[in-house]
Structure 1
Amino acid sequence: MKKIILTISISIVTIIILLSFIDRTPQQVSNNTADIVYSISSIPTNLKSIGDLDKRQQDIVCATSKGLVESDSDGNIQPALAESYEINDDGLEYVFKIRNDAYWSNGDKITPEDIVSFFREVITEDNEISALLNVFGVKDYLESDKTFAETVAITSDEDSIKIRLNSKDDGFIGELTKPQYRLRKDVLFWEDIALNYKNIPYSGDYYIDSINETEVVLKRSSKASVELAQTIHLVKDESEDLALAAFEIGNRDIVINPPKSQLERLKTEGKLIESPSNEALYLAFNANNSNFSNEVKNEIYRLVNEAIEEYQNQNNILVELAECSYFREDKEDLTKLQSRNVMVNTEKEITMPSKIVLVAQESLENKDITSYITNWFKNNTDIAIVVNLLSEEDMNLISEKNYYDIALVNVYAKLDDDEQLLNTISSFVPKDQREMINNSSSKAEKEELFAQIEEDLFNNYRILPLLFYNNTIAVDGNVDSSILDGNGNIDFKSIKK
């Protein structure tokens, strides 16, 4: 018995001695002091209306602001300012529990009241709030003299906010991940960000440290994770070629849409990220031109599609054929698209015009593709294509003009962003149909209405899809491949350099 007790005692002492050698010091997360240099084509001065900005300008808002929820690179909804949310049984009421450790960049705690105030400002000041028009009381508030508090069903308590809808909308949470619904303080100050950036507290992982005509410098907030890059430089480059040249010598870490001539090489070197974008190119016919019969329009569309198909074969990294689909996600709907393809690809013996005037907005991409179409028609038909590249302002007015036959229209082809979609194709959509979509309150209703409208657009040759663009991003070897979130914006949290 004594031997057993002695053996146990020795074992206990041994374990205690061994445990004393175990390092109990908490693991320290290393402070990331890296600078990320990111090429951007223009420096915005007005960040108030987010929907008016391109994706790369929106990236500034996404870096400096957080939403209630956000969308990751796979499109999954992730908590952000809200640590969780609940939806009641009828699908009308959403309760978001706000994180207890959410802070503004000045150190003040972010409260539920702050978020309600933000929604009030956005609803009052911004006209691109489609996700919020289905919130109970919003339309009444906008059309009356009633106060926000007594009208709109966005309220707060000690640790949460509550939003009540007019009708069930399964896409509402997804809508809230968009950049325009990320929390900003004093929204009106963002209209002149260069003047006011020092006086604005930011809800995101970064704040604007400086801004001028050539560069925006973002610094990591004191409350953000020290694993994030310490500084982000968004540098204006005059051209894609100059941006890539800077990238090649190590002066840029990220270049969006590098020159297409370099895509294959970058891909081979493992320095290219490819992902689908929502940017598309549609072909529109001049509604004021009565010289073209539907048979002629069909043949023009068929020929342009042939040219685009050959263009895609040479630029498969850059573009994807639309194949008669207005939205990339609809390409799997073979039942809907089969009849369209049959209609378009049926050749008929008809007399074609000897000349077609084509207009498009002036850009490097449109210059390249219109040049290709012109040469293709020259080599394969008896039709001469005359191209006019227009300014954005002139392009927006082409519905009032009669000097063109067809137009290439750059479209943000995502029904979730119906405002942006309708803005670009509004000249070709009858007014009553535009109003039907604008007055619909849910994503499902919008999709159903547009499904009806797009049949009219296609069958009457108003505006027809040609191709979808892909995102191409040049990155150095230290940048993660999943740097775009579900809305196509840069997720700076994913960049670990």
Structure 2
Amino acid sequence: MRKHKKLLLLMTLILAFSSVLAACGANNNNESANNGDAGKPKDQVFRMNLASEPPTLDPGLSQDNTSNTIINAVFEGLVRKGEDGTELPGVAESWDISEDGLKYVFHLRQDAKWSNGDPVTANDFEYAWKRVLDPNLTPASPYTYQLYYIKNAEAYNGGDIKDASEVGVKATDDYTLEVTLENPTPYFLSLMSFQTYFPVHSSIEGNPQWATKPDTLIGNGPFKVSQMVKGQKIELVKNDQYWDTESIKLEKVEMSIVNSAATELASYRNNELDYAGHPTGNIPTDQLNAVKNELGDQLEIKGIATTYYYVFNTTEEPFNNVNIRKAFSMAIDRNAIVEKITQGGQLPAFGFVPPGIKGENDEYRNEVSDAYFEDNLEEAKKLLEQGMSEEGYTTLPEVTIIHNSDDNHKRIALAIADMWKNNLGANVKVQNQEWGVFLKNRDDLNYQVARSGWGADYNDPMSFIDMWVSNSGNNDAGFNNEEYDQLVRGAYTTNDNAERMELMAQAEKILVEENQVIMPIYYYSSVSLIKPWVKNLHIDYKGDIDFTRAYIE
């Protein structure tokens, strides 16, 4: 592991960054963060930090946790998600499902309004979904495939059907939305709380920048955006047009944007933040033991259904060779990473679908293999030699790991680079990139190895499996495998849940064991700090934060 140098410079930078988060009076506020109610907001204001600028607040285009943290507060789907992942009424106050599971009829509440006072109608949902499916949408939604459950959706998006009216979603009147599916989908209702299925206001037509300014960002959720200062802060205020506004106690949510885990922790200790940590920020791993001792009563650590992994660009040398990919994956020490670096209760990962995801009768991970490979240095060396021979290498090409700017991602990347250098003789560089740039480079296959993480969009293994089909907008590995695609199609179409699980397990084996498209590293835990005066704040089963019903006491 690489030790930090130039400590004085580091401390100077931390102090400088801390001033960005300080609202006022930070120089004479010396109370400890656990000193009673010192620093508690006087009003119903919740303060948190975003470690990066959200790339988009357009629910049809969003694909990252930072953006979705805001989107989930500013928009609402037909249903909303409870803390345990159960479906609660949202814009739809009720729904009917046909016996064959192919037709859903959603009955919308008539008091749901947009933040500008317009009624939210079934037409807004039909418009939003067909917008995502529009083959001419630019940029295309990375989650278009998530709507392929709907009858003719994939055919329309692919150009085989030209008329959008043939897609199986129709507003039969202002407050009734009828949806017809291609096949019965047990988790379809839970998808209604996913951002790609959120409605958008018709005023966005012809304005591609609508989601970048508060005055054109019209939402239908509990909050609305009041301020956006690029690279500095985002402010939300209570949306008094929201149908359930009486349940919303917070008047304001203040989000600073500072990409430093150390600064975030310092600001929390100085009572400038009410929340710190996952999923929007981080607590420095090298300070975690001190945090446990000092703020143990405010520290929450829980396992969540999310996987931390590296993805290989299978179209780029040297990782177009499967044996080299396998060698690099087997040549790291996952136990050392979670015990010495992350130190937050994470579990070494040897599969892609994490614990906590439902299987047929138990958790999926308990029903299928929990390890498709192992850390094995001797086998890694043999595979590397074989792969280099197949490619005609006498020496390995230089390898670059890219990660989004974050202290903890950097520590992990440096540790893995050292392991690859010491164990395989690889020449490895580590490069941090701003979040938006990083996402674009990963999407464009402009990388060799990239840090990644994936949390459940809904509680089913398919949330992890179908992202790697050939036409998925989230398949950023260049992976194209017809057998894999067929297994996923089979899991989509069968009514037999046991068969579904078996097909997805076969697909995961192709992804992880046979092709090593990704390099699982660990299954996440959520590590966060919450002030004692913050009540009813939830971190759900997959690690998303829900502050919409929180309040200050």
**TM score, norm. by length of structure 1:** 0.77
How far residue 449 of structure 1 moved from its aligned partner, in angstroms, is 5.2
How far residue 49 of structure 1 moved from its aligned partner, in angstroms, is 5.3
1:4 counterpart residue number: none
1:325 counterpart residue number: 351
2:164 counterpart residue number: 148
1:243 counterpart residue number: 264
Alignment of 1:428-443 (within 5 A): 429-433=479-483, 436=486, 442=492
Mapped to 2, the partners of 1:368 and 1:441 lie a distance apart of: 38
Mapped to 2, the partners of 1:191 and 1:203 lie a distance apart of: 19
Query: Which of 160, 166, 174 is residue 182 of structure 2 equivalent to?
Result: 166
Question: Does residue 454 of the first structure (1) align with residue 464 of the second (2)?
Answer: no
Q: Which amino acid aligns with 1:209?
A: S
Alignment of 1:21-420 (within 5 A): 33-44=43-54, 46-48=56-58, 50=60, 52-124=62-134, 125=137, 127=141, 128-142=143-157, 143=159, 146-149=162-165, 151-157=167-173, 159-186=175-202, 187=204, 191-193=208-210, 196-213=213-230, 214-223=232-241, 224-225=245-246, 227-255=248-276, 256-268=281-293, 269=295, 270-275=297-302, 276-282=304-310, 284=312, 288-289=317-318, 294=323, 301-304=329-332, 307-314=333-340, 315-317=342-344, 319-322=346-349, 324-329=350-355, 333=365, 336-337=368-369, 340=372, 358-362=399-403, 363=405, 364-375=407-418, 383-390=424-431, 392=438, 396=442, 407=449, 409-412=451-454, 414=456, 415-416=462-463
| Alignment check: 8 A CA contact 2:348 2:523 kept | yes
| Alignment check: 8 A CA contact 1:377 1:385 kept | yes
Report the CA distance shift for 1:347/1:41 in structure 2 as closer, same or farther (over 3 A): closer
How far residue 163 of structure 1 moved from its aligned partner, in angstroms, is 0.8
Mapped to 1, the partners of 2:370 and 2:169 lie a distance apart of: 45
Question: What do residues 73-131 of structure 1 show as CA deviations (whole Å, max 9, x unaligned)?
Answer: 21111111111212111100111121232222223332333333333333334532333
5+ residue gaps, structure 1, are 1-31
Q: Residue 507 of structure 2: SS of its match in structure 1?
A: helix
Mapped to 2, the partners of 1:281 and 1:349 lie a distance apart of: 18
Q: Which amino acid aligns with 1:41?
A: A
Q: After the TM superposition, which of the residue ranges 167-176 and 148-157 deviates more from structure 2? A: 148-157
Report the CA distance shift for 1:190/1:133 in structure 2 as closer, same or farther (over 3 A): farther
Report the CA distance shift for 1:320/1:193 in structure 2 as closer, same or farther (over 3 A): farther
| Alignment check: 8 A CA contact 2:83 2:540 kept | yes
How far residue 233 of structure 1 moved from its aligned partner, in angstroms, is 1.2
Q: Residue 337 of structure 1: SS of its match in structure 2?
A: coil
Mapped to 1, the partners of 2:233 and 2:319 lie a distance apart of: 50
Matched residue count: 455
1:6 counterpart residue number: none
Q: Residue 107 of structure 1: SS of its match in structure 2?
A: coil
How far residue 71 of structure 1 moved from its aligned partner, in angstroms, is 1.6
Report the CA distance shift for 1:101/1:485 in structure 2 as closer, same or farther (over 3 A): farther
| Alignment check: 8 A CA contact 2:45 2:254 kept | yes
Q: Which amino acid aligns with 1:229?
A: L
1:12 counterpart residue number: none
How far residue 461 of structure 1 moved from its aligned partner, in angstroms, is 4.4
Q: After the TM superposition, which of the residue ranges 61-70 and 182-191 deviates more from structure 2? A: 182-191
How far residue 67 of structure 1 moved from its aligned partner, in angstroms, is 0.7
Q: After the TM superposition, which of the residue ranges 467-476 and 140-149 deviates more from structure 2? A: 140-149
5+ residue gaps, structure 2, are 1-41, 358-362, 386-393, 457-461
Mapped to 1, the partners of 2:476 and 2:54 lie a distance apart of: 25
Mapped to 1, the partners of 2:493 and 2:269 lie a distance apart of: 44
Rg larger in 1 or in 2?
Answer: 1
Mapped to 2, the partners of 1:375 and 1:140 lie a distance apart of: 47
Mapped to 2, the partners of 1:260 and 1:190 lie a distance apart of: 43
| Alignment check: 8 A CA contact 2:56 2:62 kept | no
Query: Which of 532, 548, 551 is residue 477 of structure 1 equivalent to?
Result: 532
Report the CA distance shift for 1:239/1:87 in structure 2 as closer, same or farther (over 3 A): same
Question: What do residues 39-81 of structure 1 show as CA deviations (whole Å, max 9, x unaligned)?
Answer: 0123336322555442122111111111101222211111111
Report the CA distance shift for 1:382/1:36 in structure 2 as closer, same or farther (over 3 A): closer
Identity %: 18
| Alignment check: 8 A CA contact 1:411 1:425 kept | no
Question: What do residues 273-294 of structure 1 show as CA deviations (whole Å, max 9, x unaligned)?
Answer: 3342524214749775599995
> Where is the helix percentage greater, Structure 1 or Structure 2?
1
Mapped to 2, the partners of 1:290 and 1:62 lie a distance apart of: 37
1:427 counterpart residue number: 477
**TM score, norm. by length of structure 2:** 0.70
2:21 counterpart residue number: none
Q: After the TM superposition, which of the residue ranges 215-224 and 126-135 deviates more from structure 2? A: 126-135
Q: After the TM superposition, which of the residue ranges 213-222 and 416-425 deviates more from structure 2? A: 416-425
Q: Residue 149 of structure 2: SS of its match in structure 1?
A: coil
Query: Which of 489, 493, 496 is residue 544 of structure 2 equivalent to?
Result: 489
Report the CA distance shift for 1:467/1:398 in structure 2 as closer, same or farther (over 3 A): farther
| Alignment check: 8 A CA contact 1:426 1:434 kept | no
How far residue 468 of structure 1 moved from its aligned partner, in angstroms, is 2.3
Mapped to 2, the partners of 1:107 and 1:397 lie a distance apart of: 37
Q: Which amino acid aligns with 1:281?
A: Y
Q: Which amino acid aligns with 2:149?
A: N
